Homo-oligomer: A and B are copies of this chain.
Amino acid sequence: MNFCSHCGNPVEQRIPLGDNRLRFVCPQCQTIHYQNPRIIAGCLPVWGEQVLLCRRAIEPRCGFWTLPAGFMENGETLEQAAARETQEEACARVRELSLYTLFDLPHISQLYVFFRAELVDLDFAAGEESLEVQLFHEHEIPWQELAFPTVGRTLKCYFADRREQVYPIRNEGIAALRPRE
């Protein structure tokens, strides 16, 4: 950040009165420009014994498999964001969304939130950000070709939980994760 988005003056970094962190502050109009973590919401779409994955058409991790997910927008609920991303990336409709995994990624200031969800029907297809979209049984999951650790971890949890038929909601840090698992 170089300039004040309110008045256009160059900003400077200082700790505002009553604060304890460096912020971008405008010396002209005094606006404090806070920067906060962003939320990525997505779904684990389920169809019987299978789950739906998308192969990414965009960077980062172009060509790798992911669960449909993306940045939550202003004016949305978590669930609406997760369903919208599923619609956009997999052209798929989901129902019965149920909060499932929350991953803290403090090193990139992101919070990942996944919902378990039922596919409404088999009417899915690659959206603009996907190369292909496909249903996978557990033994077919391309574990070595997953795009993000959060995706692998959510899938691992899901297949383990499914055997127990209990799906606890989890909040974990990324530090607990190995690459692509």
Contacts and interface: CB of A to CB of B under 8 A. Distances in A.
Contact of A111 (B39, B107, B173): B39
Contact of A80 (B7, B8, B106): B106
A13 to B, nearest CB: 13
Interface residues of A, number: 40
Contacts of A1: 5-6
A105 to B, nearest CB: 9
Interface in A27-77: 33-39, 71-77
Interface in A74-130: 74-80, 99, 102, 104, 106-107, 109, 111, 128
A173 B77 CA distance: 7
Contact of A10 (B8, B36, B80): B8
A171 interface: yes
A85 to B, nearest CB: 12
Contact of A76 (B2, B6, B37): B37
Contact of A3 (B3, B18, B79, B109): B3
A63 B2 CA distance: 37
Nearest to A38: B36
